[in-house]
Structure 1
Amino acid sequence: MYPWQDFAIQPDFSDKIALRTTQGDVLTWIELTTKINQTVAFLQKKGVNAESAVAFVGKNSEKILFLYLATIQLGAKVLGINPAFPQEKIAKLCEFYQIDFCFYDKDLLNLQEIGVFTQKADFFRPATMTLTSGSTGLPKAVVHNVQAHLDNAKGVCNLMKFDCNQSWLLSLPLYHVSGQGIVWRWLYCGAQLHFPEDDFYASLLKTTHVSLVPTQLQRLLDYLQENPSISFATRHILLGGAHIPTELTQKMVKYGIKTYSGYGMTEMASTVFAKQSDKKQGVGQPLLGREYCLVNDEIWLKGAGLAMGYWKDRQIVPLTNNQGWIQTKDKGIWQEGELVIIGRLDNMFISGGENIQPEEIEQVIIQHSSVNQVFVLPQKNKEFGQRPVALVDFNEPFSKSAVENLMFFLQDKLARFKQPIAYYPLPLMLEKGIKISRKQLANWLAKQDEIN
């Protein structure tokens, strides 16, 4: 049986709190399983069966979570789609991946009470399809089975001391692999899963564990500084999704909160490497069951969490090379006993014959105290072919003086050819989900060049 069904019949778990809703209400494992069974009946009534492909479009909600788990319980495949996508793109994704049923929040309002539904659990059957943040065209749909999600969860739970007595905030979207990673850690341990309430950071501080991107960690630090007498349960924060400033993680130490710097990918069901944050830039060692090697500076991965393949034309196509490894296109080096991520191989560009890795420049710029976030991109240049420019989000209004201060800071920290030749305010309106797309930023920059 699936984890939620198993916990519902175990005397030590059945009446324990499994879920805390956005309204602050609680569900036990028995009540949670009943809700999932209701959703199974709803899906069956709509015609969903074990051969179906089901999509959901919506932000995190209890009903979306029930739909996700109910689809898996039925033996069908489930795909999450970002609700911020235009309707045309959602339709195109559903057509391309031959989705049989697509559900929005409004479709899930009236679920009927039913008896307990039983289904033979198959942990190795294709269960989830997760869209990658593809740089061109439609994103790939990565297929995982339940066992891969649980294998990934086990390594993270071991590292972060997450067990049935702890709670994790569902702080990241369920259509993203990081959000799913939270769900499977909860299900692996039989712990509590909390949905954020109206005050995100207040509800965050009620949980023992949380996953954040660095900009959220900065906001949490601001929240704690603004509310110095607040009590909190949070003790462990997993970070990923962008470069993680060591200066920021060290500030959490005085609050008794441990932060963990992680590296993962959709094809591996979330986190692959992680360590307790320190003053070094690396992401530590591979977690339990993961394997890695470096080939011409490219990171190759396999082991716990590896996907079954990509979904295409109603079949699963391989994602590993003929040696069984997935080639990540991420550049890394092994330094001081840990993996250091340099950047994406496909982000590198050539300027006047010199190789430039944008992430290397970003890691230096982010060290400046006035910078919240930065992206470095290539801009066409007649003399050098391409030159680096920076799109910056300052923690003060974007201004000529803010840029000049940053340029002065970089003078002795970057080679001349790596120093950006122009600075633009980061267009935050392009943000979708938990990552800003470099492709969207490049398109925005190209338009600025046309204007100028």
Structure 2
Amino acid sequence: MTTSTDPQAYLAAVVSRLTGPGAPFELVEEDVRGSRMPVMRERKHAVHELLTGSLAWGDRDYLVTADRRLSFREHAEQVAAFATVLADDYGVGVGDRVAILAANTVEWVIAFWATQSLGAITVGMNAWWVPREIEYGVTLTTPKVLIVDAKRAALVAETDIDVPVLTMEEDVPRLIDAHRGADLRTADVGEDDPAVILFTSGTSGKPKGALHSQRNLIAVSDYHRFSDAQIDAFAGREYDPNTPSELRYLLTSPLFHIASLHNIIVPKLVSGSAVIMYQGAFDVDRALGLVEREKVTNWGAVPTMAARMIEHGNVRRYDTSSLTAFSLASAPSSIAFKQRLREEVPFATNSLVDSYGMTECSTGIAVATPIDVQQFPGTLGKPVFGVALEIRDPLGEVLPEGEEGEVCVRSPYVMLGYWDNPEATTASIRPGGWLHTGDFGRLDGGRLRLTGRRSDLILRGGENIYPTEIEQVLDEHPDVAECAVVGEAHEDLGQEVAAIVVVRAGATVSEEELRQFVADRLSYFKVPTRWRLTTEPLPRNATGKVSRAQVKF
């Protein structure tokens, strides 16, 4: 058989071979919550099926940290024990919420899978939240149990939360030991039943809980399996789902983000890949030391981490030859930055991938391959497998290629909606199952080029920050007449938070006082690092709203 020398034609042939009738990833059109869309014919229907299937990988590495190593078998045994605790001691069942508030740790993952085995909903809470935010998240989701690490346990103690609390350092290991040998429990759940809540900022100023379904997580894992099959095809190998993957993934983003939970922890359990979990504040030497020691093959980092590698200046002293896939995610980066990264970081030279995604979509929306990054700079690649993408005008009409409008997507990855927020759900997910992202862009040769981020969003080191939330806190201060929060360019973080505060007549409030006022109420990364105090009113438009575009820092 003749093989096409045109990469795009060959790719199309591979996709056709993998997704056609009788193929391992055969696509069929089905109804998904009232909308017709392509889905895989052969698929799981409950997340806990992925867990039971992982027993086939036995004593291979699943979770590895700097000082711990857990096999797939050991992981499943500990999940079974902890699920027994949640069910018998705390009454957790189908649809109940179990909240996790902690930095990255093995116990975070065990708690996640134990929740899934019971058909309950895992609530991944932002580990940077302060007591006020924690109380909000718990009140919104009403979990039966709150699982925390020691640092967050101290924060919870400052609140009025009345929920059983289990600590990862003491309670979880003790309870697992007491129930070793328990059988793994599984629950009867539907494909479109809820599975996970992850928080994403909203323009209303309060974090919203994006509710992901069983289908969402399974579809994402199938997307990753399909990607592995594509790689095998390009390497001349036949894809075999019963053969464990030899790939080893470095996890450096928080587990309460889709980048780590939905796109590493879940799919790598399915493929038999090892997850090398970085813990603690990011440090280039520690990260590269793990790459070298564990022979990491794949790493998805935020641009801030990549920038620190460039600044490090001595990346080449580490053996990173195993690292053949390196991607940027969670925040935009410039063409010049990506070029500098390819020049100065050896493993990024020919493997750099860029992407565009959002919590509401569970995974990437579009991905720029190394070829895209080099030949089509400034674009974010074509929509990923399973994603339909359209650019629409304010009336919802589809725009032709080259015209700018709102990015709208539909796929099996799109969330069910926002937890206990039907108004926001209706505004976001429109008829036909289309998610209106609030981002603006255009298609160039089928590749997405973003022209504007969601309204007013500040992206600081991979964290999404909406100014409204900070402004509402500042408005609580008696000396603040009005204020505006904007993003200012920052060499390391991408953007930093800047606040313009109009103080009341006769007030003597200081910058330091306002900084502390915000720090007592919001996570550290939301606290403005640049301030301008003034007595001049903020510019407003014809309707009386502050014109953020005219605000000058």
Task: Judge same fold: TM > 0.5, yes or no.
Answer: yes
The separation in 2 between residues aligned to 1:201 and 1:434, in whole angstroms, is 28
The separation in 2 between residues aligned to 1:231 and 1:89, in whole angstroms, is 39
1:220 alignment counterpart: 309
CA separation of 1:313 and 1:283: change in aligned 2, threshold 3 A: closer
The offset of 1:6, in angstroms, is 1.0
The offset of 1:60, in angstroms, is 0.7
2:140 alignment counterpart: 96
SS at match of 1:69: helix
1:48 alignment counterpart: 92
Q: Is the 8 A contact 2:298 2:326 kept in 1?
A: yes
CA separation of 1:148 and 1:394: change in aligned 2, threshold 3 A: closer
1:203 alignment counterpart: 290
Aligned counterparts, 1:356-375, within 5 A = none
2:186 alignment counterpart: 119
Q: Is the 8 A contact 2:246 2:273 kept in 1?
A: yes
The offset of 1:336, in angstroms, is 3.9
Q: 2:273 matched to 1:191?
A: yes
Q: What letter is aligned with 1:31?
A: E
The offset of 1:100, in angstroms, is 2.7
Unaligned runs of 5+ in 2: 1-47, 151-166, 233-243, 281-285, 394-404, 468-483, 494-514, 537-552
Q: What letter is aligned with 1:133?
A: S
Q: Is the 8 A contact 2:99 2:146 kept in 1?
A: yes
TM-score, length-normalised on structure 2?
0.61
Over residues 4-35 of structure 1, what are the superposed CA-to-partner deviations in whole Å (9 max), with x where a residue is unaligned? 32121x3xx22322221341x32221111001
Q: Is the 8 A contact 2:192 2:213 kept in 1?
A: yes
Q: 2:353 matched to 1:234?
A: no
The separation in 2 between residues aligned to 1:194 and 1:225, in whole angstroms, is 22
Unaligned runs of 5+ in 1: 349-357, 363-374, 378-385, 396-426
SS at match of 2:99: strand
Over residues 337-356 of structure 1, what are the superposed CA-to-partner deviations in whole Å (9 max), with x where a residue is unaligned? 410111225239xxxxxxxx
The separation in 2 between residues aligned to 1:165 and 1:34, in whole angstroms, is 23
1:327 alignment counterpart: 436
Q: What letter is aligned with 1:63?
A: E
The separation in 1 between residues aligned to 2:195 and 2:535, in whole angstroms, is 45
Q: 2:490 matched to 1:392?
A: yes
CA separation of 1:257 and 1:304: change in aligned 2, threshold 3 A: farther
1:169 alignment counterpart: 250
Match of 1:338 among 431, 438, 447: 447
CA separation of 1:304 and 1:435: change in aligned 2, threshold 3 A: farther
Q: Sequence identity, in percent?
A: 18
SS at match of 1:250: helix
The separation in 1 between residues aligned to 2:69 and 2:406, in whole angstroms, is 46
The separation in 2 between residues aligned to 1:389 and 1:68, in whole angstroms, is 34
The separation in 2 between residues aligned to 1:435 and 1:178, in whole angstroms, is 21
SS at match of 1:54: strand
The separation in 1 between residues aligned to 2:214 and 2:344, in whole angstroms, is 34
Q: Is the 8 A contact 2:209 2:419 kept in 1?
A: yes
Q: Is the 8 A contact 1:240 1:262 kept in 2?
A: yes
2:212 alignment counterpart: 144
2:481 alignment counterpart: none
Q: 2:404 matched to 1:301?
A: no
The offset of 1:193, in angstroms, is 1.1
The offset of 1:57, in angstroms, is 0.7
Aligned counterparts, 1:22-101, within 5 A = 22-23=66-67, 25-44=68-87, 45-101=89-145
The offset of 1:129, in angstroms, is 0.4
1:412 alignment counterpart: none
The separation in 2 between residues aligned to 1:188 and 1:434, in whole angstroms, is 34
The separation in 1 between residues aligned to 2:533 and 2:277, in whole angstroms, is 40
Q: What letter is aligned with 2:254?
A: P
Q: What letter is aligned with 1:89?
A: E
Q: What letter is aligned with 1:306?
A: V
Greater C-alpha Rg: 2
The offset of 1:391, in angstroms, is 4.2
The separation in 2 between residues aligned to 1:151 and 1:158, in whole angstroms, is 10
SS at match of 1:178: coil
The separation in 2 between residues aligned to 1:121 and 1:102, in whole angstroms, is 24
Q: What letter is aligned with 1:320?
A: I
The separation in 2 between residues aligned to 1:449 and 1:65, in whole angstroms, is 48
Q: Is the 8 A contact 2:98 2:122 kept in 1?
A: yes
Match of 1:133 among 192, 195, 201: 201
Q: Is the 8 A contact 1:156 1:287 kept in 2?
A: no
The separation in 1 between residues aligned to 2:523 and 2:104, in whole angstroms, is 13
2:360 alignment counterpart: 267
CA separation of 1:228 and 1:73: change in aligned 2, threshold 3 A: same
The separation in 1 between residues aligned to 2:303 and 2:324, in whole angstroms, is 16
The offset of 1:120, in angstroms, is 4.0
Q: Is the 8 A contact 1:329 1:345 kept in 2?
A: yes
SS at match of 1:40: helix
The separation in 1 between residues aligned to 2:187 and 2:491, in whole angstroms, is 51
CA separation of 1:22 and 1:135: change in aligned 2, threshold 3 A: farther
